[in-house]
Structures are given as structure tokens and as C-alpha cells.
Chains A and B, each alone.
Chain A
Amino acid sequence: MPNNLTVTDLEDLATGAWILGTGGGGDPYFSLLEAKLHLAAGKGVRVIDPLGLPDDAMIGCVGQMGAPLAMQERMCDGPVIARTVTMMEAHLGRRFDALMLWEIGGNNGFQSILAAQLLGLPVVDADAMGRAFPQADMTSFAIADLSAAPWTMVDIRQNSLIFTEAVDWAWMERMTRRMCVVLGSTAATCKAPRTGAEVKRASCLHTLSWALRIGRTVRAARAAHADAVAAVVESEGGVMLFTGKVGDVMRRATEGWLRGTVQLEGLGGDAGHAMRIEFQNEWSVAWRDDEVVATVPDLVILLDTASGEAIGTETVRFGQRVSVIALAAPPVLTTPKGLAHVGPRAFGYDLDFRPLFGERA
């Protein structure tokens, strides 16, 4: 794990985080641009190991919530994210020792980095999802029954809110989601603060390093003109699910999420077969012909067959040549308690989790 991130590290992190976004979380490109501007202005990114945190350290956890489609137009804004942190510090009456990632997948990992750059804080190599998920109750912290409150929420117009109490994560999700939609389906948030002990016990550890490693694998494969999709599958012990062409995309924006279905027509070894993938911000369940082949919380990932670049639910389009792969979810997500929060039933499917990677946890 590098201590101070370079421009190349930031680029690899963006590539890897976008892949771990499993179609959601937004393309980190805008955040990457902004992080590079800050780095060029002398605002570095210092990454620290969560296992070295003192138990009583106070760790902030920031993220942008909302629909990726909205972020495609609204882009990102580090100063707005940083304001959620200072607002939380004012509410708590103490300063944070570091910021951790809320969600490594997609654009959100970078939100902590931008805020940390602007506030001069280190970034903890850990997140609360190990991928991307659409809801706050789909986190390792919710699974571990840590407190969901307080939250701060800020929008670009300087509207700001504090959610001081929530009886559980589902209520926090419900309340913040409603306000997020009011604010334009995208809002900056600082989640419930965590102690060093809680981070060590209940987060997905070293996921920033994981994203960096995937980004480096893709970069190396491209430089060698090797198959970047195969390189990721091999280096991460993943499964190749399907190769095909996008035949149809249906999207609907509901309750602050982007939901829909993409239909793939098979190519090569998959010719004559079809794949259907449904999504709620992120890819959630994949069917080959009519058989379920992968479900949340395992990571269902759509990659550009030629370049290995991730393809998002808001940018996938007719005619693209894509490969579908699956990576194993972090073990904390596939325990019975974990599956109650992030398994197929938590997404409204009458399906059991179908383990692709054998016994875990």
C-alpha cells in the first residue's frame, strides 16, 4: 500500500474503483480530475493502514448519495463534500483524526479523498461496502449493528441538514433518500462517525489497496495488449459469466435510484444464448437464458470486452461489446446476517443467494 498517492496511483484507483462499482457508484472520472487539480496544488493524499488506528481515533466517513445519472451532469465538488465533514465536526464538538471511504466502488471512494485533500486529513484504507451498493443499510456497519446516526447532508445550494437520531439504518436510509431526491437526486453526506476500534472490527479492510491492484492489472494488461478482462478474472479469482453485445437497455428513475434491465445477445462461445441483468444503480442479478447465474452480494461486473474498462448502468448502451464477470464479495457480506442486508431478498427478489465461490466466511 502506497503511503502518498501519485497521479498514476489516482488513475489506477479510478480504474479499479469503477470496476468495483459493479455498474453503479458513478464513473470516478470527474473526481479524479478534481483530485489531480488538488494534488497539483500541493494537496497530497496520505493513505494509512486501518490496523494501525488507535481504538479511540475518530474517523469520518463521507460519500455522495444519489443517482449516477444525476452525477453525470452535476459532476462533483470537493468543497461541498468537505463542508459535510466540518459540519459534522461542529456537531460533535471534536475534530476527525482521519477519513475513511464509505463505498470503494465507483465515484464514492474519491469523495473521501477530495475531502481529505481539502481538509489536510489522512485517508484510511478501508470502506463500509467492499463494492458499491445503493442503500445505507447495505453496509458492514449496518450488518454489525453500529449506530446509524448522526448524518450531515449538504447540497450545492448551501441547503444543509443534520439527521441527529435514527432508530436503525433502514430509517436513516429512508429519511436521507427522501431528502436526497428533494435536493436533486444527489447530495453530499458525512455518515455516522466511527471509532478506530469500530473501523478495525466492522469495516471492509484494505479495499482502497484492492481497487489500486485491479487498476494496475488493467493498466499492465493494456500495455501488453493482453486481454484485460481475462487478466482481472485471473488476478482476482473471478468467474467469466458471458460475452456478448448489448441488445436493449431499459431504465427508469424511481425514488432516487436508477433501476432497469439490460439484455445481452451472446457472441463467440455464448452465441445463441442471452443474458439479462437487472440493476438498482448497481448490477444485482444476472440470468443466462432463464437461469440465475449470479446475484448480489457477489460483484456482477460489465466490462468493455476490448479495453476492460467498466461500463456503468447509466452509460451502458445499445451495440456495446461487453463481458460479464463476477468477483467474490467480501466475507462479511455473505454471512447469514450479511445476506439479510445485501442478499437478493434485500433487493426485492424471491431468490436465495447463489454462491459462485464456494464456502466462505
Chain B
Amino acid sequence: MIRVGIDVGGTNTDAVLLDGTAVLHAAKAGTTEDVTGGILAALAAVLQGAGVAAGRIGAVMIGTTHFTNAVVQRRGLARIAAVRVGLPAAATLPPFVDWPADLRAAVEGPVAMIRGGHEVDGRALVPFDEDAMRAAAREIAASGVAAAGICAVFAPLNAADEQRAAAILAAEAPAVSATLSHALGRIGLLARENVALLNAALVPMATRTVAAFHAALAGAGIDAPLYITQNDGTVATAEEAARYPVRSFASGPTNSLRGAAFLSGLADAMVVDVGGTTADVGSLVAGFPREANNVVEVGGVRTLFRMPDLVSIALGGGTLVDKADPALVGPVSVGFRLKERALVFGGADLTCTDIAVAAGLVALGDPARVAGLDGGFVRAALARIHALAADAVDRMRADATPRPLVAVGGAAFLVPDGIAGISQVVRVAHQGVANALGAAIAQVSGEVDQVFQGLSREQALEEARRVATDRAVRAGADPATVALVDQEDIPIAYLPGNSLRVRARVVGDVRG
């Protein structure tokens, strides 16, 4: 089966055509504001370059950093309402309490704290306050926000109060989309609430983005299932991904790490992926991204995701350099407007790409347009860029052992050759499309989350793994490659018969 992997970054849209494990062709286009145009251009180039007809495409996997970029840059986020069902618990720590001030200013709308929620044993904490929720829902409707995050105390054990709150909100404010925390996370109120709020702030944008993906495929004449890559290197259907954009948060780095492993053949290495807007540094252990163990922050917000352990900094090919002071690099990037706004492309903005061209590190656009830059200024700006990259790599080192660093991404030329603690900077073929490649080799998963009764714990776990594996195989996984990646069980003391809530998740390679 021929698969297309597409990576929609802030600056470039890359496409790669894969037949089994053979790379047929790779192509690159600028990301367009409507998203569709960039995908169409990349698809047309890759299909034409490989001489493959659109009708032969069996599946399309898209990875995008759109959603995480929106949070990191505080751009395109919807103002949202927050509903916490759990008073009188935790009254001193309201929603948004541990958010960075600028993100909070961009996102925080009406906040309601309502009485309700559950106890650790499943009993009600206090009766759910319907009247207060109705009043809050009316205030939310009047505020004009497009989305709301709803989080109830112990919702992972009993989601009833989140569902009640959502039903009242739907009745009073039908235009407001709601994210319920229990769909996104496990025990841990504040982090789960944060994730629900971030998700709500991204849903309007995700809905538009996924519609643009569909439009692009239709425009290219491709009639194949569309998948969006997720944080853990697996795929979800486009519809599911539009409802839960936070699940795609770390798919960019996951894809680039997996793509870098595929391209370099290295199983243990550090990876730096420099795109147009950000540089992400991660670590490969035995061919897979090293996961962050405990708390994962996104844009400064505490979440409870399992994600690749990553240091992300605002440094990319489109990152602006101050024309007066070469030490001022970033954090703003021209993003997808690189091809209009960078000096070498005829624009008026000085970007890191211009500095690299002026320094002779890469041939892009018209070098004559940066020939007039002062040599001392270029050296100083480049030194600053190298220092930023080296510092990010250094922050990611887990121990003193020198390791190779695989440099991938469209702006990998910004990575210096000598970095302290790095044995060798490895540059690979197709380095510019590592993300798209990672998307194309994404795995499929099977998940189960249900309450088992009347079984021993061993039997319940066994049954959960069997159901999850069945689901993965039905979704297209090769049974020989299916492996358990996550398993969790919580006893539910208030239900009879040894009740155990079990979550299990397995992943496997797509059947060839």
C-alpha cells in the first residue's frame, strides 16, 4: 500500500510518498494561510515526482504542529469559559491558577465554580448545583465565547456531573462547544482541567484546520482515509482529532524523532528538529522517543500527557533577527510567510534564514539581497543562533555521556557542527521531511477503558489487553508488532463484585 505522510508546519508543508519502507519521493511547499493551498502544492509535487496516480494512494497521514504552535505563540486561541464542578473543594485554587499570565490573558473567559463532583469512593461530594450551573451557562452564552472546558472532581471515576453540566450548557448555550475533562485524562484535577481548557481553546481552530485538510485531499483527487497523527506516534481519524486537538500536541516532535531514527538508522541519539518557528530537541532510546516521566508542560501549562521529553525553543528558519541588535533573535517568527517576508525571498524582514544564507551555510533565494549585511553583524547573529541551539541541546542532556545529534528539519542548517557533549552532528538525506516520514510510518492503536466486574485483577487485565489488541488489529495493525504501551487500573470501591476500571492501550505497525 502506498501511503502519503504530510507534515503541516508553521512554515513548510512537506509530503513524502512511502511504499512499504521505501521512500518513493519527497516534496516541500510553503504552508499557506488557508492550509489547503500548501497541502495541494506539496501533494501535486510529490505525486508528480514519483509518477504515482492519486487513485493509488491507500492512506494519508497528516501531522501538524499547528495546535501546539498556537499555544506556544499565544495565537489563534479561542477565548473560553471554564466550569469546575467541585466546590466546596479546592476553592483557593481556581481554574487557570497556574497558567502563565500572557496565555491566561489570551484565553481566560468566564470562570464558574459550581458545587458538585465525587469522592474517591464514588459517592457524591455534595449534590450537583443545577441552578448555579444554569446561571453559569447563561453567563457563558452572554459572553459570546465559542468553547468551554468542563472539569469535575473525580470525573475519571464518575463523569456524571461533567455530563450534567455539559447538558445544561448545551441547552442554554447551544453554540458553545464543550470539552469534558474525563475524555482527556486521568486522576489529577488541576492538570486534567488544564488539558481540557487548552483543548477547548483549540477546538474552533482544529475544526477549521481539519476541514482544510479534507478540502486539500479532495482537490488533489485522493479518495483515501485521512488520519491525523497523535502524541504517541499513532494515528486518529480526522474527526476525532478535530474534537481533541491536544492529543496531537506532541505529534510533531514524535514524528520527527521517529523519522530521524528511520533516516539515520540510529537507535540511541539526540535529535534536534529545526523548523520555521521552533527548534525541538529530544532523545531517542532504542529507536523510540524518550518520554517525559512526570509533569509535561505545554506553553508553560502543566498537563498530564505522556509525551516525548522535549526542550522546545523559539528558533527556526523564519525567526526574526533584530536589524539593530544581532543578539536579539526571536521569539517572533514570520512562520509560513518566509517566502514573502525574508530578505532572500524579496521581503523586508531579517530572518535566521537570511543570516544563514549571508554566512554561506545554505543556498536559498537570492544571496545578493543579503550580500550587503555587515560581516560582523552576521557573525554575531549566527553566534547567538548557535548559542541558542547549543543551550537547548544542553538542557536536554540527561547525563554526561557524549551522544550523536541527528539534525533534521527544514532549517537544520542553523545547527552548528560542534556542540559540547555531542560526539558528532549527523546530517541525513531527506532531513527536511523527517516529520512527514514519521507521519507516514505512524502506528495504529487499540484502546479499552471500561469497568470489569466479577473477575480477578489478572483476568480483567488480560481481558482488557485482548480487547485492545483486537481493536488495533481491526484498525489495521500487524498482529505480530502489537505491543502494550499503557495500562492502568483503578479499583472502584463503591461498586460490588471487585469492580475494576481498566485502561489499556496497545500499538502496532500498519499492515504492509
- B-binding residues in A (CB < 8 A): 29-30, 33-34, 37, 67, 69-70, 72-79, 156-158, 184-186, 225-227, 248-253, 304-307, 309, 311, 314-315, 317-321
Contact = CB atoms under 8 A, between A and B. Distances in A.
Given A225-B400, A317-B488, A318-B488, A74 B89 contact: yes
A251 B120 contact: no
Nearest to A32: B98
Top 7 A-B pairs, shortest CB-CB distance: A75-B90, A70-B120, A304-B293, A184-B119, A156-B88, A73-B189, A306-B398
Given A37-B92, A225-B397, A314 B294 contact: no
B373 to A, nearest CB: 35
Interface string B155-198: 00000000000000000000000000000000111100000000
B187 A69 contact: yes
Given A34-B92, A37-B92, A317-B488, A185 B121 contact: yes
Contact of B190 (A69, A75, A305): A75
B93 interface: yes
B417 interface: no
A161 B246 CA distance: 44
Contacts of B153: 73-74
Contacts of A75: 89-90, 93, 189-190
Contacts, number: 107
Given A34-B92, A252-B491, 4 more contacts: A156-B88, A185-B121, A250-B489, A314-B187
Interface residues of B, number: 42
13 contacts: A70-B119, A72-B188, A73-B187, A73-B188, A77-B90, A184-B123, A186-B120, A225-B400, A248-B487, A249-B488, A307-B294, A311-B293, A315-B294
Main secondary structure of the interface of B (DSSP, over half): loop
B294 A77 contact: no
Interface in B279-315: 290-291, 293-294, 309
A74 B92 contact: no
A175 B5 CA distance: 62
B364 interface: no
Contacts of A158: 88
B291 A184 contact: no
Given A69-B120, A250-B457, A314-B187, A306 B93 contact: no
B325 interface: no
Contacts of B309: 306
A76 B90 contact: yes
Contacts of B328: none
A95 B487 CA distance: 51
A73 B125 CA distance: 11
Interface string B112-134: 00000101110101100000000
A72 B488 CA distance: 16
Contacts of A30: 90, 93, 190
A29 B97 CA distance: 12
A184 B120 contact: yes
B475 interface: no
A179 B395 CA distance: 48
Nearest to B505: A318
Nearest to B153: A73
Contact of A321 (B93, B293, B490, B491): B293
B91 interface: yes
Contacts of B485: 319
A12 B190 CA distance: 21
A145 to B, nearest CB: 34
Contacts of B395: 225
A307 B190 CA distance: 22
A227 B401 CA distance: 11
A311 B294 CA distance: 8
Nearest to B87: A156
A183 B120 CA distance: 10
Given A69-B120, A319-B486, A253 B493 contact: yes
Given A74-B153, A315-B294, A318-B488, A34 B93 contact: yes
B57 to A, nearest CB: 34
Contacts of B119: 70, 184-185
A79 B489 CA distance: 34
Nearest to B504: A318
A29 B304 CA distance: 14
A29 B189 CA distance: 12
